[in-house]
Structure 1
Amino acid sequence: MNFKRVFLVLTLLTVSLISSCKVYAASFKPHQVKAVYVFRMANFIRWTNEAEMKSLNFCVIGDDRVKKVLSTITKGQVIRSLPIKVISGLRSDCHVTYVSGYKSKFEHAKYASSPNVTISDNEGFTQQGGVIELQTVSNQIKPKINLENAQLEDYTIGSNLLRIATVEGK
């Protein structure tokens, strides 16, 4: 019974941290906030093959600052008993891929190694096949999730994350 209460309190704290990015924006740089978002959102995503996974792999493409912060905040951390690895570039074993700074149309097929949650801060990312776009609204970073793109992969996005996001698609 105590475990359930602790888990509920931790979940509520995490959701409140994610949804209160105005505080982050006042005292942290955007790349730091984005790195925290990428890490925290992974807590609300369940991969169907988690029992077989040896680690949870975060791949970062295009923004070394986000990679550096993500590496720092995830050092020694686990998500559901899975150690976290932060990797530069794209690999077939990526579970979460953060893509930033692409100039042309996002090529979803290039990044669509299942089960890979694609996240970006680029405008229009979810319309081009990406799953989560970190959009800036009134100086706050807010996730936009495309459910149609997410349903193509082998993972489930938790309701607590969907509750704080702008949701598009089915």
Structure 2
Amino acid sequence: MKRVLLSAFSLLMCMSASAGVTFNPDKVKAVYIVRFANFIHWPQESSLKQINYCVIGNNQVTNLLESILVQHQVRNIPVVFRQVNNQEELDDCQLVYLTPESCRLGELKIDRLGLVTVSDERAFSESMGMVEFREKSGRIVPVINVDNVAKNNITIRSQLLRISKIISTPQGVEHD
């Protein structure tokens, strides 16, 4: 299963419109989210019986995530897909993907230790989020706010940081 997902991830990352392959940003985002767990370490990871990938809202990315995460494992820990509807249900989540519509609700408190926050809402990483997907030159680029990551005691491996755009909280300052 890992080999299949790695192959799918590699294929999606190599796709380009000029090669005649249809670019599907939702598929790329879903595969990125699935692969994130391989490059993230949670503070409570040694005691986890499963890694809960939670979603708030419903769109094509969430539908793809649900189908990809069936029987998925990371470091021998099962990864479970969960649709959540309120703040209390986030307590058991290690990663949460918020649809752009759910980000606009503004009522969620997603800033807590051990929770990785991901969205494709514009400016998500510059405010409360850790990872934001942006489309640039026909590619999906993860934007990672290193201050928000550190504040939640998350460790991200250099392999993910190298392929991402890195920013800090004050006005989304970029780092090279």
**Fold shared per TM-score above 0.5:** yes
Contact 1:107–1:128 under 8 Å retained in 2: no
Whole-angstrom distance in 1 between the partners of 2:15 and 2:167: 21
Higher relative contact order (CA 8 A, sep 6+): 1
Q: TM-score, length-normalised on structure 2?
A: 0.78
Match of 1:120, as an amino acid?
A: S
How many Å apart are 1:27 and its aligned residue? 3.0
Q: TM-score, length-normalised on structure 1?
A: 0.80
How many Å apart are 1:129 and its aligned residue? 1.7
Query: What residue is the counterpart of 1:136 in the other structure?
Result: 135
Instruction: List alignment gaps of at least 5 residues for structure 2.
Output: 1-5, 169-174
Q: How does 1:17-36 map to 2 (within 5 A)?
A: 19-20=13-14, 22=16, 26-27=21-22, 29-36=24-31
Among 38, 53, 57, the alignment partner of 2:52 is 57
RMSD: 2.9
Q: What SS class does the counterpart of residue 35 from structure 2 fall into? A: helix
Query: What residue is the counterpart of 1:98 in the other structure?
Result: 97
Q: What SS class does the counterpart of residue 38 from structure 1 fall into? A: helix
Contact 2:56–2:102 under 8 Å retained in 1: no
Q: How does 1:18-167 map to 2 (within 5 A)?
A: 19-20=13-14, 22=16, 26-27=21-22, 29-89=24-84, 90-102=89-101, 107=106, 110-167=109-166
Match of 1:79, as an amino acid?
A: V
Match of 2:145, as an amino acid?
A: N
Q: What SS class does the counterpart of residue 91 from structure 1 fall into? A: helix
Whole-angstrom distance in 2 between the partners of 1:109 and 1:62: 12
Q: Per-residue CA shift, 1:52-77, capped at 9, x if unaligned?
A: 01101111112342222112112111
Matched residue count: 160
Whole-angstrom distance in 2 between the partners of 1:104 and 1:86: 19
How many Å apart are 1:16 and its aligned residue? 5.1
How many Å apart are 1:97 and its aligned residue? 0.6
- How many percent identity over aligned positions? 33
Whole-angstrom distance in 2 between the partners of 1:146 and 1:98: 15
Whole-angstrom distance in 1 between the partners of 2:112 and 2:11: 30
CA spacing shift, 1:108–1:148, aligned 2, 3 Å: farther
Q: What SS class does the counterpart of residue 109 from structure 2 fall into? A: helix
Contact 1:59–1:87 under 8 Å retained in 2: yes
Whole-angstrom distance in 2 between the partners of 1:158 and 1:15: 17
Q: Per-residue CA shift, 1:73-108, capped at 9, x if unaligned?
A: 121110011101111125211111111123775749
Q: What SS class does the counterpart of residue 142 from structure 1 fall into? A: strand
How many Å apart are 1:124 and its aligned residue? 0.5
Contact 1:105–1:128 under 8 Å retained in 2: no
Whole-angstrom distance in 2 between the partners of 1:160 and 1:38: 15
